[in-house]
Copies of this chain bind each other. A is one copy, B any other.
């Protein structure tokens, strides 16, 4: 995962200079005027300290958030204190989409490192989207894409063994990072083994062993949080091997 600094991709930054609502304005060809109107949504941007909550389960939905710098995990907590990580978010990705359904956040978003987000006031967004059909269309797509991602997760949890899950996780992260302009081969994990495990439905020890297996096969080199992908194709084959090639 990236270090805590703005994404290096110049194209992205240029296209959406002042805001970081990449997800909202980039995918579709909005006009400059439209982007400027979008900018009016961004009344502020603010920092979240490592370990702090951007929002918590039960909080009323005020804003969606676009990650500008840093990274987050979203997680639900059960009575007995166990937590389930439902996702990791890196710069350019959205947070809070689950809250639209009931005007209340259904999970907590915690910063994995010192981070910065752009809040997007939801009521204003809906109002503006009403006037900008392409914005609305875009919002629909973003919501739908989240559904697709979740289905991919379900597929993974239903069909893959521990090593395959880990490989799929690394590939997915690698691909998302490269989309944002970071290296797809060298990156830093911002989360602990335990959090990866929760996300993949495994224990932290199983993650450690999985890492050892991938290392033994010469596919990756992982020491601590540093990841070097040595054999991208090999990783993909591992994932595709028993099951799905299309998860990427």
Interface residues of A (CB under 8 A from B): 76, 78-80, 82, 84, 86, 97-102, 106-107, 126, 129-130, 133, 136-137, 139-148, 150-151, 153-155, 157-159, 198-199, 201, 240, 242-245
Q: A130-B136, A143-B140 are in contact. Are A242 and B80 (CB under 8 A)?
A: yes
In the complex, given contacts A78-B245, A130-B136, what are 6 additional A-B residue pairs having Cβ atoms less than 8 angstroms apart?
Answer: A76-B151, A79-B243, A100-B143, A102-B148, A143-B147, A157-B158
Assembly CA distance A244 to B57 (angstroms): 14
Q: Which of B139, B146, B242 contacts A140 (CB 8 A)?
A: B139
> Which 8 A-B pairs rank lowest in CB-CB distance, beginning with the nearest?
A150-B150, A100-B144, A101-B144, A143-B143, A101-B145, A158-B201, A157-B157, A84-B155
List B contacts of A143 (CB < 8 A): 100, 140, 143-144, 147
Report the copy number of this chain in the oligomer: 2
Find A243's partner among B80, B99, B139, B142 (CB 8 Å cutoff).
B80
* Least distance between A94 CB and chain B CB atoms (Å): 11
C-alpha spacing A97/B167, complex, angstroms: 28
Say yes or no: B133 contacts A101, CB within 8 Å: no
Q: Are A148 and B244 in contact (CB under 8 A)?
A: no
> Which B residues lie within 8 Å of A154 (CB)?
84, 86, 150, 153-154, 157
**What distance in Å separates the Cβ of A123 from its nearest Cβ neighbour in chain B?**
10
Residues of B close to A243: CB separation below 8 A: 78-80, 82
Docked CA distance A106–B145 (Å): 10
Instruction: With A154-B84, A158-B84, A244-B79 as known contacts, state yes or no: A100 contacts B130, CB within 8 Å.
Output: no
Residues of B within 8 A of A153 (CB): 150, 154
Please tell me if the beta carbons of A78 and B159 are within 8 angstroms of each other in the complex.
Answer: yes
Q: Is the CB of B155 within 8 A of A99?
A: no
